[in-house]
């Protein structure tokens, strides 16, 4: 499954690195995303059990990202200092434990509080992994590697959808617990186990890896050094990152991507029920089928982007496809097949856009600034994660229509993609060229 582009002996070295570290962080991200969005399945039962409405669910889903945003930057700066092993130990054990605590929720206030703490615990996970990959892979290889990593999200849907549906249907009422309580209990445990495993499985830097020979370490160092050749226009330090308006432009673009990402992650189960699917287990399996198509699509798009060394139009094209799908959904309200087709297009598009977006800022940021820059973009962008479920939930509660909120997100995503094309203009669409333009504008 894992392949990297390049030439000569370096290919073998980077394939070895990819085989060693990608499967483990891939599994961690699968568990991460299952735990992040399983509330979307749990709501199919707990809204009735706890007498909540869609507005309460939207706020609860968004509260996760409030905690996430507040602690994102300090968490990633700490990760740069203490390394990914200790970072994943801290983050994954805490988020696994808090996922289990969700089974004891009885009020809206408690739901909001636990979701906030869950976001605070998880803050720094994704940017820490993005930062970690910059220590092991040069820019020209990172598009495909990122697409492989982000493929964990649709795989989480392949596993999480059927698993969540089966848990909630099969265990409902066992030992006096509702199906949604079993869901949080069972899906919280793997995160705790993986957090402890990360400390022993991963190495913080290539220089620390006993499984690499000295010559292999030297090749990796040389490739990374060549990719970071000093350039006054592209090597940006942390202080400059935090005062550079272009970083905030990238954050705004990521904001629009994150809004659409969460709209898909949280509302697919509800949307499938709305168009005529009522059995939770069937919704779970169909969600898994959508995720299979998504996994295939993002790898193909990532490979094509790497071959062309073009990022900007690939990201924008995917974003426009997602926006169009959201806007067309009302026309398919009476057809499960057509609704699923649009959801596949939207799901492939948003996850491909997510993976390829990160090749742009990581090509732009100097190693010293990468931790702060990545965290700044993800923190501000993740505000979209808080706004998205709140906006859709509020509009659904007040109008009765899920489509109005999704259409609004589609329009905002289109604006984000237009901003991307206007601001990040570079020669031949090269990610590094785009970064040069950003630095000089």
Q: What are the sequence ranges of the domains in the chain?
A: 20-440
Query: What is the rounded distance in angstroms from the CA atom of residue 306 to the CA atom of residue 137?
Result: 13
* Angle CA 202–71–367, to nearest 5: 55
| Average pLDDT estimate for 196-217 | 90
| Average pLDDT estimate for 386-413 | 86
Query: What is the rounded distance in angstroms from the CA atom of residue 278 to the CA atom of residue 175?
Result: 25
Tell me which of 131-145, 216-230, 283-297 is least confident: 216-230
Nearest of 27, 344, 50 to residue 201 by alpha carbon: 27
Q: Report the share of the chain in percent with pLDDT over 70.
A: 87
pLDDT score for 424: 65
- pLDDT beyond 90 at 229: no
CA atoms in the 13 A half-sphere facing the CB of 178: 18
| Average pLDDT estimate for 189-200 | 93
Tell me which of 95-104, 360-369, 387-396 is least confident: 360-369
pLDDT score for 431: 42
pLDDT score for 265: 73
Averaged pLDDT score across all residues of the chain: 81
Q: What is the dotted CATH code of the domain comprising 20-440?
A: 1.20.1250.20
| Average pLDDT estimate for 3-11 | 57
Query: What is the rounded distance in angstroms from the CA atom of residue 113 to the CA atom of residue 133?
Result: 32
pLDDT score for 434: 39
Confidence band for 134, pLDDT divided at 50, 70 and 90: confident
Residue 236, strand partner residues: 365
Confidence band for 1, pLDDT divided at 50, 70 and 90: very low
- The residues, ordered by sequence, that sit 6+ positions from 413 with a Cβ below 8 Å of its Cβ are 256, 257, 259, 260, 319, 322, 323, 326
- pLDDT beyond 50 at 414: yes
For 358-378, how does the pLDDT look when each residue is reduced to its tens digit (9 = 90+)?
777 766 665 556 666 777 787
- pLDDT beyond 60 at 93: yes
- pLDDT beyond 90 at 80: no
- pLDDT beyond 70 at 211: yes
């Amino acid at each position: 499954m894992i392949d990297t582009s390049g030439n000569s002996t370096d290919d073998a070295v980077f394939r070895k690195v990819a085989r060693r570290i990608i499967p483990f962080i891939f599994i961690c991200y699968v568990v991460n995303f299952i735990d992040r969005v399983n509330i979307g399945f749990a709501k199919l039962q707990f809204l009735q059990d706890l007498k909540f409405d869609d507005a309460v669910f939207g706020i609860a889903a968004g509260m996760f990202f409030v905690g996430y945003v507040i602690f994102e930057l300090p968490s990633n700066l700490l990760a740069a200092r203490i390394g990914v092993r200790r970072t994943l130990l801290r983050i994954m054990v805490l988020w696994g434990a808090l996922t289990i605590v969700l089974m004891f929720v009885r009020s809206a206030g408690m739901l909001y509080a636990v979701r906030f703490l869950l976001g605070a615990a998880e803050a720094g996970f994704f940017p820490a992994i993005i930062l970690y990959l910059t220590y092991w892979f040069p820019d020209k290889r990172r598009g495909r590697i990122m697409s492989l990593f982000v493929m964990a999200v649709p795989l989480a849907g392949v596993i999480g959808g059927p698993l969540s549906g089966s848990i909630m249907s099969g265990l409902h009422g066992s030992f006096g617990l509702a199906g949604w309580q079993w869901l949080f209990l069972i899906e919280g445990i793997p995160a705790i186990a993986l957090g402890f495993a990360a400390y022993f499985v991963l190495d913080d830097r290539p220089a620390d890896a006993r499984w690499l020979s000295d010559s292999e370490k030297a090749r990796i160092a040389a490739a990374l050094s060549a990719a970071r050749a000093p350039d006054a226009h592209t090597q940006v330090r942390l202080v400059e990152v935090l005062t550079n308006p272009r970083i905030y432009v990238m954050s705004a673009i990521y904001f629009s991507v994150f809004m659409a990402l969460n709209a898909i992650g949280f509302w697919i189960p509800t949307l499938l029920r709305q168009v005529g699917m009522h059995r939770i287990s069937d919704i779970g399996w169909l969600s898994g089928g959508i995720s299979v198509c998504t996994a295939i699509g993002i790898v193909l798009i990532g490979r094509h982007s790497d071959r062309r060394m073009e990022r900007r139009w690939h990201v924008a094209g995917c974003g426009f496809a997602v926006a169009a799908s959201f806007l067309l959904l009302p026309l398919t309200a009476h057809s499960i097949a057509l609704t699923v087709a649009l959801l596949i297009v939207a799901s492939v598009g948003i996850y491909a856009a997510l993976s390829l977006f990160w090749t742009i800022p990581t090509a732009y940021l100097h190693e010293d600034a990468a931790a702060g820059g990545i965290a700044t973009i993800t923190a501000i962008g993740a505000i979209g994660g808080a706004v998205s479920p709140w906006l859709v939930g509020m509009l659904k509660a007040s109008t009765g229509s899920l489509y109005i909120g999704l259409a609004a997100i589609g329009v905002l995503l289109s604006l984000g993609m237009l901003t991307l094309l206007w601001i990040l203009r570079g020669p031949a669409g090269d990610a590094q060229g785009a970064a040069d333009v950003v630095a000089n504008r």
